[in-house]
Amino acid sequence: MMKKTNKKKRNSLMQLALILLALSSLHVSAQKTPLEFSIYGGGGVSFFICTLPKTFSIGCHGDVGVGLTAFVSTQFGIHIGAGVGLNNTKLRIDYVKNLTPGLMDANAYLFNLHTTLIDYSETHKTMLVSFPVMLQFQAKENRQAWDWRKSHKKIFYLKAGGKVLLLLDHKYEAEVKKLNNLAYYPQFDNWAGTQTFAGLGDFDGNNTNGKLGFSIMGMATIEAGLKWRIGERLYLYSGAYFDIGLMDPAKNSRKALSNYIYAEDLYNLALLAVADGVNLMGIGIKLRLAFAQPPKRASCAQWGKKKSKKRY
């Protein structure tokens, strides 16, 4: 188990190193490219996308960070950044009934396990670091170099791309109001449902809490809104965004419902155990204050020196 954890951490650190390398290489290559340095803040509503029916989830999230946009033309640029965020989301499942056939009891008799969960809920609190990489498009700006006040006050912008999320801390709490296990023995055509020592019967009000291990999650993201010019080189972005997860962060922590006949699982509910797949989605608004740095060019004095010729 320790080897798997160490391997995950090594892979995570390698990916983080690659991201930092990309940031530094972009900065070096952008010496002759118009740049925008920015700080941002945003937040909105979070949801879990669950494969089970009769589910409901809602929560909130927010993040702050910094960014760098290098424009390859007047309308297109590449945006990278880094931010810190918090997420608090609750998942609720009203009713789940599951059949697990072909189990074997202590006496080597085969039985089919019928598990029923009523009012199952989980609350997740996550702290994370995000590294977005996005392509930015913006409308043409009627920019007057001699007087910025005569330029357009606002233009449309659109960003699309992805982000890597490093889950620094992920706490969860799980609770089920009613859990019932019934065993049917085909060989005897008989039901068993009162042997609580064997995990059969009613187990109501079980709850547990824990942490999800260090993990990485990828998300696709899109953002659109208005870019306001509020100074000669100062802009304010105001827009709405939509994020959707590309992988299941709880995949390695999930257990089968058939495990709910054992004491260690009955009284320690597994993380998102009742779903085959869960993903995270977020919708919100974002504000970004950006300072535009013009491309570096040789000064007039330097240009004159290069072009000047000796006169005799």
Domain range summary for the chain, segments of one domain joined by +: 2-307
Q: Give percent above pLDDT 70 in the chain.
A: 79
Apex 97 CA angle, 95 and 102, nearest 5: 165
Q: Is the pLDDT of residue 182 over 90?
A: yes
3-state secondary structure of 243: strand
56 vs 27: which has the higher pLDDT? 56
Q: Which amino acid is at 199?
A: G
CA gap 112, 186 in Å, rounded: 8
Of 95-99, 109-113, 152-156, 252-256, where does the model show the most confidence? 109-113
Q: How many CA atoms lie within 13 A of 154 on its CB side?
A: 8
Residue 246: DSSP 8-state: S
CA gap 182, 186 in Å, rounded: 13
Which residues have CB under 8 Å from 219's CB, separation 6+?
Answer: 162, 163, 165, 243, 244, 245, 246, 280
Q: What is the pTM of this model?
A: 0.76
The answer to whether residues 91 and 119 touch, using CB atoms and an 8 Å cutoff, is: no
25-48 residue pLDDT tens: 544 444 456 899 999 999 999 998
Cα–Cα nearest to 263, from 171, 179, 156, 153: 179
Q: Give percent above pLDDT 90 in the chain.
A: 49
Least confident of 4-18, 25-39, 61-75, 205-219: 4-18
At residue 310 the predicted structure's pLDDT band, cuts being 50, 70 and 90, is: very low
Which residues have CB under 8 Å from 226's CB, separation 6+?
Answer: 154, 155, 156, 157, 237, 238, 239
